[in-house]
Amino acid sequence: MHDRQLGPFQVSAIGLGCMNLSHAYGTPPSAEQGERLLLAALDAGVTLFDTAALYGFGANETLVGRVLKAHRSKFTLASKGGMAGVTGDDGTVRRVIDGRPEAVRRNCEDSLRRLQTDVIDLYYLHRWDKKVPIEESVGEMGRLVQEGKVRTLGLSEVSAATLRRAHAEHPITALQTEYSLWTRNPEIAVLQACRELGVAFVAFSPVARGFLCGELRDVSTLDAKDIRKSMPRFDPDHYAANLRLLPAYEALAREAGCTPAQLALAWLLHKGDDIIPIPGTTRLAHLHDDLAAADIRLSEGLVARLEALVNEKTVSGNRYGAQARSEVDTEEFA
């Protein structure tokens, strides 16, 4: 596995997004399956593991902590706060975005306990709480760094302007946002801002939430609890339009001598040494397929054809529904 620089850390060029093991895509795998996948990733050379307080309302951090605590010195651990599960008076758990300093601190301390570690290497603000100045949230995160509970800071789903404000309050090591061939929003402004500030870019959902793997042909088969059911691009009409891109995309993958998922990851790696994709999966075969993308090289001509085929103008539907769009701060295409 090749390495890339993530602030002070040397990490694998492809990390592992751990969310899928506990959250978001229907019924999660068993704890035993999750353990096998985490250890297989470590054995395969993955040295960046990404989790969050939100994923499974703490279950994902608990799994990562239990399985990987014996190997803590071998990898860079990233987690996120500022968006977590809160139990109401009726006993139900709901997602809450809360960037107040006291909430960010509480999230971090809860995460440390679940992860069974003394320090989180990279701690993100999962969402900017727009009711709280970004300087207040990041200021408290900076105090967590001073106290040795966190080593470096990150932000998720923010704009270039918000990144600059946060970075002026405390150095930001990484920005994490959805980025793939079918989600090109970072190219509007924030990717360039990262480069100007020396901030690494961590790309989540790099295979377009499974679309660019080429295996999901019928969205009616999605689990009732799958978050993609709330995403316009996976609405049957939009998805039918998007499926028309796949035959030509798969032909480009064959030309490159790789699988469709590998082509999506290789494209991101090609876009800059400061970009680190973190695909997630529950299946060992997919894990090894994803990691092999680090060895694929693409010609400039193939990249140009790829980008002309799948981009913000050819993809049908927004990436998020109205509620989720209101919660992020990322730039959008007109």
Q: Tell me, what amino acid is at 280?
A: G
Burial of residue 77, with CB atoms counted within 10 A of its CB: 0-12 exposed, 13-18 middle, 19 or more buried: buried
* Count of all residues that appear for the chain in the document: 334
Angstrom distances, CA of residue 133 to CA of 86, 156, 166, 227, 325? 22, 15, 9, 29, 19
Token digits for 233? 């691009």
Catalytic residues: 55
**Which residues fall within 8 angstroms of residue 212, CB to CB, at 6 or more apart?**
180, 181, 182, 249, 260, 261, 263, 264, 310
How many CB atoms neighbour CB 159 within 10 A? 21
329 neighbors 128 (Cβ within 8 angstroms):
yes
**C-alpha to C-alpha distances, 156 to 14, 168, 174, 180, 237, nearest whole angstrom:** 18, 17, 9, 15, 30
DSSP string, 232-272: GGGSHHHHHHHHTTHHHHHHHHHHHTS-HHHHHHHHHHHT-
Q: Distance of alpha carbon 154 from its chain centroid, rounded?
A: 12
Instruction: Enter the tokens of residue 244.
Output: 């028309």
